[in-house]
Chains A and B, each alone.
Chain A
């Protein structure tokens, strides 16, 4: 175990050292992988753990982004951590409201209702021009961040932003990892397997799923806030269907049976997309083809291909999902 800790510490240190190794273009890619990875992991808390396929996960991603943008724009002297906290809170609130209506439903019903909520928010962002600036999007100016000890993170520079994003994402992933190991996190897996049985055993199915939904929303909002801060722009497209579906691609690609599978999927997806979009303007066709092939031949994703049998709580290796059972 201590060896494992040591290994993790070394890995984290290596991640913090990346800006000295990568050039700016690759470092920017790494930042994008960080927040999309967090986004994909939060999606998988719903899909992999709770068995809830969300088609509107961009809703809270966008809420986080807009909250960060609005706080930085309108609150005098707001710092980035404050704006990130506000984004997390707003995401949690949105998750609570949306989840209240959605988590009662299962399967396709759940997928459609989450989609509808995200489309609703998309329409609001598009039409409420006084606040969101509609189609043009809200430009976000990110102030420098003063750290204790006189250090200043100049967030306009890629390495500095990378360190901020890495810290936030590691904290969020740590929280999510802890969450999956709580009794509540286990109860969620039980409900995915059989929520009637869970209810008979005295679990509060609705409340538990609502908590998970809200927690996933908080994480997605943090990811969205990082996205907005990095892009320096948040527009309705952050709430739109392609954003919701991209995260599904990432999670499936990496594997939904392992905690960090979706993170791996996000990284691979970004690299593939980057490479494909240079090779052909019709890259969505090949992404779709890859997705179809993955589902037909490797629906466990990359971690499923690599992984052995083991508990879902594992970080990297996947176990077989209950969806395996013939429906």
Chain B
């Protein structure tokens, strides 16, 4: 991390004004202010997931600093911020996807309905069933459409009979608004669908194992506007049953789909608030600068 001391000992051959600018502590920069507290209320009345003082490091590089944030039941919370701000890292902490990275260290507390997800007794496979994830690039299994959706259900033993499995596959595809388009070709490979359909298939796959929370990491960035609209409409529909955390680079998308928006900057949660407020009258100037396109 480029600390204040590092900056002071930096290249002394640079012109004086540049050096002064480099060492001047800018306390608007949250990373430089150890007392920085997130603007807005990180708590919700009815949380599905609570994170407190979460710190994440990759080796000796700290990526997330002291982030506390609740995810409410039946809400869509959007996480926005410039590249490298830690929003995806934080998202991946919520179902322990970071466990797959050797050098990654997570501290603090993350609870799913009061249960510590980093606790000794937590079954990570089960956790990832309860907290599903949809990635940026649609990644259907190289199997049939039916098998794509049924795979997780069978893995977790959630269906006791073939007909029950059929029902789960159908209802998941219906919830993902894909049933009408694929019902007559369930035996065809999932990879044969269009990008938007593949992403909805991945959502159906996540829904099939009855998660409590769905994490979405830039789910529409590889899709055209029509497919994006279909996914966004789906997100709004899914909210009735699930909590959804979505990381997105599209501010318009965050504004359209979420009820709360969290703005991350250099690993800090700078501001969180009702989406309406964040996009009309943000409280922190970094949030304002980012959403209005005043960053350089």
Partners in one complex: no
